[in-house]
Structure 1
Amino acid sequence: MNVVNLDRDELAAANINPDTGLATDYLNHFNEVAMLIDMLESMPDMSEEILDWAPLAYPEHFTQTGFRAKDLAIRAYELCDPDIRKRFDDACQAVEIKIGEVQVILQSGVEALGDPTIWSKQLYSLIAAIGGVINPNGLGDYAVGLEEEQSSGDDQSAIDALFD
């Protein structure tokens, strides 16, 4: 059995992508910490919450949140196509690794992080890659997020490359 055997209308009504079996609600787990990092410059006391953040597996996220169709979300995830699931899990792991890097640096103090918005932008890019796996649109894909992650961070070079 796989996700295609589930009721597509029921999945869509629950905000679960009927094609992938994944829900964007899981992105909240990552978006919250990215927002905290983004706010660090003006609110350095947020560092404690960032340091307390821990990865949460997809099924655990849904059992701990108020998502109304949590059982369906977990079932659809379990039935997700193995290739999609691997891309999804890999994309999530990339975000978890980046957050872990921030946490290690933050242990030395907020100032050790430098400009927190640089880190949050990287995280938002990686989170968008997860979203691209959940809701493929031809642009959002884990590979896109990886390219951005591995780039030197020179935004102008990336823009120039678009016009070459």
Structure 2
Amino acid sequence: MDAKQLDKAELAAANINPETGLATDYLNHFNEVAMLIDMLESMPDMAEEILEWQPLSYPEHFNNTGFRAKDLAIKAYELCDKDVKKRFDEACQAVEISIGEIQVILQSGVEALGDPTYWSKQLYGLIAAVGGVVNPNGLGDHAVGIEEAAVSGEDQSAIDALFD
């Protein structure tokens, strides 16, 4: 059995991509730390929370959240196509490595990080690459370099509006 044999309507209703078997809810685990990094300039005390951040596996994330269809999300992930899962796991690992690098720098103090938005933009680009594996959109799941990761002011305004 693979994820494509699960009920597509049930997966879609649960916000799980019926084709990949993956849910974008997992991206919240990364988006939270990226937003904290964004806030560092005006709220340097967020450094402590960033330093406390730890990677969570896909199943761990869903077991620790209030996601209503967590069992289905975990099952779909476990049944996910092995190539999709490999690309997903590699993209997630790139985000985790980047966050780890930021944490190492941040141990020397907020000022050691320089411009926090430089780092958060890099993270948002890497997170977008993970999203490209979850929900392929024609761009695929190509790796996003620092230059490509920059979020324009217009794009950031749209993202900020979602949280207002």
Same fold (TM over 0.5): yes
- Aligned residue number for residue 32 of structure 2: 32
> 2: distance between equivalents of 1:62 and 1:53?
16
Pairing of 1:27-66 with structure 2 (within 5 A): 27-66=27-66
Q: Structure 2 vs 1, CA of residues 17 and 55 (structure 1 numbering), >3 Å: closer, same or farther?
A: same
- Aligned residue number for residue 18 of structure 1: 18
> 2: distance between equivalents of 1:154 and 1:67?
30
Conserved? CA contact 2:21–2:73, under 8 Å: yes
The one-letter code sitting in structure 1 at the alignment partner of 2:22 is: L
1:15-50 CA-to-partner distances (Å, cap 9, x unmatched) read 000000000000000000000000000000000000
- Aligned residue number for residue 88 of structure 1: 88
1:37-90 CA-to-partner distances (Å, cap 9, x unmatched) read 000000000000000000000000000000000000000000000000000000
Aligned length: 151
In structure 2, list runs of 5 or more residues that go unmatched.
Answer: 152-164
> 2: distance between equivalents of 1:4 and 1:153?
31
How far the C-alpha of 1:4 sits from its partner, in A, is 1.0
How far the C-alpha of 1:99 sits from its partner, in A, is 0.2
> 1: distance between equivalents of 2:72 and 2:148?
40
SS in 1 for 2:102: helix
RMSD over aligned Cα atoms:
1.7
SS in 2 for 1:17: coil
> 1: distance between equivalents of 2:97 and 2:87?
15
SS in 2 for 1:111: helix
> 1: distance between equivalents of 2:96 and 2:60?
15
Q: Structure 2 vs 1, CA of residues 32 and 153 (structure 1 numbering), >3 Å: closer, same or farther?
A: closer
TM-score by length of 1: 0.88
